[in-house]
Amino acid sequence: VETDFGLTVTYDWQSQVTVTVPNTYANTLCGLCGNYNGKSEDEMMTKGGQVTHNPDTLGHSWKVTDTPGCKEMSQVKCPTITSALQHQEISKRGCKIISDVGGPFRACHAYVDPVKHFQSCVHDFCLAPEGEDAICRGIASYTSACQAAGITVETWRTDDFCSVPCPANSHYEICSQVCSQTCSSIYTPMECSERCREGCVCNDGFIRSGDECVPMSQCGCLQQGFYYKVEETFYPTKVEKCQCKAGGTVECQNISCPGGTEGKEIDGVFQCPPPTLGTCVATGDRSYMSFDGTAFNISGTCSYILTETCGGDSVKPFVVKIEKNPRQKKKVSGIQALAVEVHGFTLTLRRGKRGTVNSISHHLPAILSDGKVQVYQHGMGVLLQTDFGLLIRYDLFNHVTVTVPQSYQGHLCGLCGNYNGQVKDDFLLPSGHQAQSVTVFGSAWKTSDAPCSDACSEDDCPPCTEKKMKVLQNPNYCGILMLPKGPFESCYHLIDPSLYFQACLHDGCLSQGDTFILCQSIQSYAVACQDAGVTIEAWRRPSFCSLNCPANSRYSLCTNSCANSCAGLVDASSCPKRCVEGCSCNKGFVFDGRHCVPQDKCGC
């Protein structure tokens, strides 16, 4: 990448980035590359203006975002570095080629120090000794540095050592200037730098078109400063689809998405956004997340309106309430009951008891009003779904999620907020005014005047000590939720584990590290990921959160008890399409709503 003011940035698509600036930028820069003031003693300056000698501290201060699983680990040591160094010192085809006084880089040694490049090459080889890729990248890095300094480098690659696979109609050259050999240069001649780079060059009679070498007659199109190959489809705007035709002509047509929503190009394909669903979470002792993504803590142990419809005749009305159990000293307050009012029914699910419909006790599943409301056991909890898209999951302990379709935006209120896409007004009181504090907000949505606590005293909820917090952050505890390459890594891009991690730390500390509480916290994130369609890895072990299943069943990371129920008990087509972890009936047994029984023992 080159600019008109002298900035040049290169990237080798693997592990090397270089940035070159003119001297007019001296003493005006900051970041990992330093301040360019000619003084090496203040090169490692943090974003806060402090000089450090710790590379991890420097890297952390300039980190632009927190990515789950990302850590500052500059001081990675290779346990076999000594033997790797000895191996490369005597190897004829390896990192040693960089510093070989009679080798292809001998003319460069006086201008670009080969020692650091050799050491870096050996270090990378030591960490990944199974192939020559690390070695090739290390030597290629030195090649680039030498050529950038204007030094001629001799050929060092061979057919059986670090060979470069070139596309059809091209070949490798150690020194090439490919910028003038492109189709786009036909339309807008480019100024090529005098320095050459190693790479693939088109054969005579061919010219580069994107990542291919084609006859000049097959060159594509230049549109708004961007080059496109012949027959390539592209989207210059969110409402326009174009295609490059032979001869450099471009044909375009208008496109649109349902409901006036904006589509976008993903990997070269125009996609309209899927119908969005709003999800609210209540988990653990005090943790909540609104439909609009605001995370907050309410320490009260009362009965609350989690969410309900507030105005708007265009949507089906419903109310979701939760009942928190009283918190005893150093005990976690869970959700001991969930009540849902919908389609004229009041369904109550209470921990340790059968569900009720309009105060009448029922076994699950409950199929009401010709399937308009359906309640199943799903995994280790209960799933309620309606004909208009309301989904409620309750683990019968301390975790509830409510999911609603996009049509409910702006029509809801309660602890889950108004679902209007704005986080600034999530804490609205029933009057419509903004609450002065989270405690006031929580208290305003209590369902009754029954005695309960709006907060937690320091005696009942003492602050977590730094020592306890450090233990709980260990991968054998809550740390498993954030573990790089851990069982939940595949979920990080879809569901941020931070809410669940913080809830786990708080609940684990409050309960003095109670194993059951710890496992429930981790289970909440596991099921949330599976409900979102993510395939997670096994996280339970015989010595860590093992699950005891009832007779005729066994633990499974992916089970669907609704779909494996007694014939006629439920309509299998309406069962959840995704599996979650739980107890799965053994072969020859089916789920009757409570137990795993032989098929001939199914009830009515």
The predicted pLDDT at position 339 comes to 95
- What is the 8-class DSSP label of residue 480? G
Q: Is the pLDDT of residue 569 over 80?
A: no
User: Which residues touch 274 (CB under 8 Å, ≥6 apart)?
Assistant: none
Domain 170-219 in CATH 2.10.25:
yes
**What H or E segment, with its residue span, contains residue 114?**
helix 114-127
How many angstroms separate the CA atoms of 339 and 394, rounded?
Answer: 11
| 365 burial level (CB within 10 Å; 0-12, 13-18, 19+) | buried
- Quick: pLDDT tens for 127-169: 777 667 888 999 999 999 999 889 999 999 998 899 999 999 9
Query: How confident is the model at residue 378, as a pLDDT?
Result: 87
Task: Provide the pLDDT for residue 124.
Answer: 83
At 358 the pLDDT is: 85
pLDDT at residue 76 is higher than 80? no
pLDDT for the residue 436: 93
* Whether residue 75 has pLDDT greater than 60: no
* 466's tokens: 């730094």
- In single-letter form, the type of residue at position 454 comes to D
Please state, for a pLDDT cut of 90, what percent of the chain lies above it. Answer: 53
Instruction: Read off the pLDDT of each residue in 443-452 and give the average, rounded to a whole number.
Output: 87
Please report the pLDDT score of residue 337 as a whole number: 93
276 vs 56 pLDDT, higher one: 56
Regarding pTM above 0.75, the answer is no
For residue 303, how many other CB atoms are within 10 A of its CB? Answer: 18
Give the mean pLDDT of 54-61.
87
The dihedral of CA 42, 48, 54, 60: what is its sign?
negative
Nearest to 97 by CA among 41, 48, 155: 155
- For 292-303, the pLDDT digits (tens) are 999 999 999 999
Could you report the per-residue pLDDT of 301-336, keeping only the tens digit for each?
Answer: 999 999 999 977 789 999 999 999 988 766 899 999
What backbone torsions phi and psi does residue 107 show, to the nearest 5 degrees? Answer: -70, -15
CB 397 within 8 A of CB 334: yes
Instruction: List, by residue range, all CATH 2.10.25 domains of the chain.
Output: 170-219
Sequence-distant contacts of 4-9: CB under 8 A, at least 24 apart: 8/193
Question: What angle (nearest 5°) sits at the alpha carbon of residue 206, between those of residues 200 and 211?
Answer: 50
CA distance 109 to 146: 9
**pLDDT (0 to 100) of residue 462:** 87
Tokens, residue 45: 């300056």
